[in-house]
Structure 1
Amino acid sequence: MDSAPPSYKGHRYPVEIIAHCVWLYHRFPLSFREVEELMLQRGAVVSHETVRRWCAKFGQAYADGLRRRRPRPGDKWHLDEVFVKINGVRQYLWRAVDKDGNVLDILIQSRRNAKAAKRFLAKLMKKQQRVPRVMVTDKLRSYGTAHRELMPSVEHRSHKGLNNRAENSHQPTRQRERAMKGFRSVGAAQRFLAAFSGISPHFRPRRHLMTAPGYRAEMTIRFAIWDQVTGAAGQPAAA
């Protein structure tokens, strides 16, 4: 069931300005100051600090709204983990996607062992409220331990060549990581990537499989869904 858009009570800027800033920041590798500049070109005077607060307040709400409107995820889950440097310290970003590349969940942890794998799987199952038919991972043995303890009835395929779907899903994160010159804290990285993984893929259909008219039609639908999620649908255009 679709939920109501977030409340904008107390905000003096119209909904479409707030939603557009959040879209710009999560869709393109832009800084808050670059979003500020783009909005100024459109005649909207918004400070980069205001953009930052909007992204922090509304980003996750928008991402959750988009996820609720997505079709039910497939029953084949791909799991993978990559290292990220956060304030100079190596951490591991765990990610699960379905067969279509839709992000199911992410989690940043300091370890890449069985305990970390079990924690991520438990979080993933709690969020999805089910188990998959097939779980595909790379050759990391920690997945095998977590699989045997948490979902032994699920088929587990462990092969690096089968997991390109999850590995490819890390590419937008790497792009943002470079643009942001790294993440400053685990908490900030977790919050940003949780929202980013819900918003960015919504505007990244598999364009190489579409004709140009088909792509434009698909994007029109996705922008309409975005307007519904943010509450901008039916609002008058900003000057």
Structure 2
Amino acid sequence: MKKTKSLYHGHRFPASVISQAVRWYFRFQLSLRDIEELLFERGVVVSHESIRRWTDKFGAGFARQVKTARRQPGSTWHLDEMFVTQGGEPWLLWRAVDEHGIELDILLQKRRDKAAAKRFFKRVLAGCSKVPKKIVTDQLRSYPAAKAEIPELVNVKHVFVKACARVNNRAENSHQSTRERERRMRGFRLPERTQSFLSCFGPIRQHFALKRHLLRASLYRKQLAARFEAWRLFTGIVQAASTVFSDTTVRADISSRGTVT
């Protein structure tokens, strides 16, 4: 039987180092040079350019694995758009989340018209197995105009959030982590790289960002251990008795993956 090549074939660093660097970059507000320093502290000498190539090569695949393993999206979609600057020009970052705050998809576009809204609706539908029961948006007229032209969404209930109540819009709140990362990176520069980065950033960050304030300490640690175990499966790591980082081996039953949101 033909043996398949490892995901990390051709890389001189072990899978544990590469997956750890990718996780740090998308999970925390760390620059590539910050990660270079953290790895050096652990005896791993690697340049920040190598780390950048790792995030470009493996980030999208890991994010897909996370999205596949998480629970099914809720029946309510919250859609919103925010302005981001790209090369000195304003662009619109469209985002959709469900009622649990789980990011469904994002799309960076130049315009805010009906065609842009329709393009985003179709993108979100393509990534979800079920049509929502309710859609919540702001009062941008592009949303109902685009929704009326998509057969799957014609009969879906559409709720508009008033301007005075925008602070309660779940989609508005979901932009906070992106804004924080944008400031840490001193702004986004190229549309293609911004789209690529944010498509990975949302799912990977949320995989580990549990709602700690709603969980007992013991339950939080148990669920976080399950997330780390799932991450090792996503990234193809065989957990040895001793690794580069001397991680504690968790025995969380991966059958509880249903808790991974």
Q: TM-score, normalised by structure 2?
A: 0.86
Q: Tell me which amino acid in the other structure corresponds to 1:61.
A: G
Measured in 1, the distance between the counterparts of 2:117 and 2:130 equals 17
Unmatched 5+ residue regions in structure 1? Answer: none
Cross-structure match for 2:224? 219
* Ranges in structure 2 where 5+ consecutive residues have no aligned partner: 246-261
Q: Which has the larger radius of gyration?
A: 2
C-alpha separation between the residues in 1 aligned to 2:102 and 2:145?
Answer: 25
Which shifted more, 228-237 or 37-46? 228-237
Q: Residue 126 in 1 paired to residue 119 in 2?
A: no
1:23 paired to 2:23: yes
Rounded to whole Å, the distance in 1 between the matches of 2:148 and 2:135 is 12
Calculate percent identity across the aligned residue pairs.
47
Find the counterpart in structure 2 of residue 229 from structure 1. 234
Other structure's SS at 2:39 match: helix
Q: Distance in 2 between matches of 1:15 and 1:228?
A: 12
Indicate if the aligned counterparts of 2:161 and 2:169 stay in contact, CA closer than 8 A.
Answer: no
Instruction: Name the amino acid aligned to 2:174.
Output: S
Q: More relative contact order in 1 or in 2 (CA 8 Å, sep 6+)?
A: 1
Give the Cα separation in 2 of the matches to 1:149 and 1:129.
20
| 1:92 alignment partner in structure 2 | 92
Q: CA deviation at 1:100?
A: 0.9
Q: CA deviation at 1:109?
A: 0.4
Deviation at 1:5, TM superposition (A): 11
Residue in structure 1 matched with residue 208 of structure 2 by the alignment: 203
Do the aligned partners of 2:79 and 2:96 also contact (CA within 8 Å) in 1?
Answer: yes
Describe the SS at the equivalent of 2:149: helix
Alignment coverage as a number of residue pairs: 236
Larger CA deviation: 152-161 vs 108-117 = 152-161
**SS at 1:149's partner residue?**
coil
1:87-143 Cα shifts (integer Å, max 9, x gaps): 111000000011111111100001111111111001111221442111111111111
Q: Deviations over 1:152-191 (max 9, x none)?
A: 1111111143762111111111111011111110000000
Where do 1:71-220 residues align within 5 Å? 71-150=71-150, 151-160=153-162, 161=165, 164-220=169-225
SS in structure 2 of the partner of residue 156 of structure 1:
strand
Q: Could you tell me which amino acid in structure 2 is paired with residue 78 of structure 1? A: H
Once the two structures are TM-superposed, the CA of residue 233 in structure 1 deviates from its matched residue by 3.9
Question: C-alpha displacement at 1:205, in angstroms?
Answer: 1.2
TM-score normalised by the chain length of structure 1 = 0.94
Q: Mean Cα displacement is larger for which, 155-164 or 43-52?
A: 155-164
- Alpha-carbon contact 2:79-2:136 (below 8 Å) kept: yes
- AA aligned to 1:166 is A
Query: How big is the shift at 1:210?
Result: 1.1
More displaced stretch, 10-19 vs 157-166: 157-166
RMSD value over aligned CA atoms?
1.7
Cα pair 2:33 2:48 within 8 Å, conserved: yes
Task: Report the Cα offset of residue 84 of structure 1.
Answer: 0.5
Indicate whether 1:59 and 2:65 are aligned: no
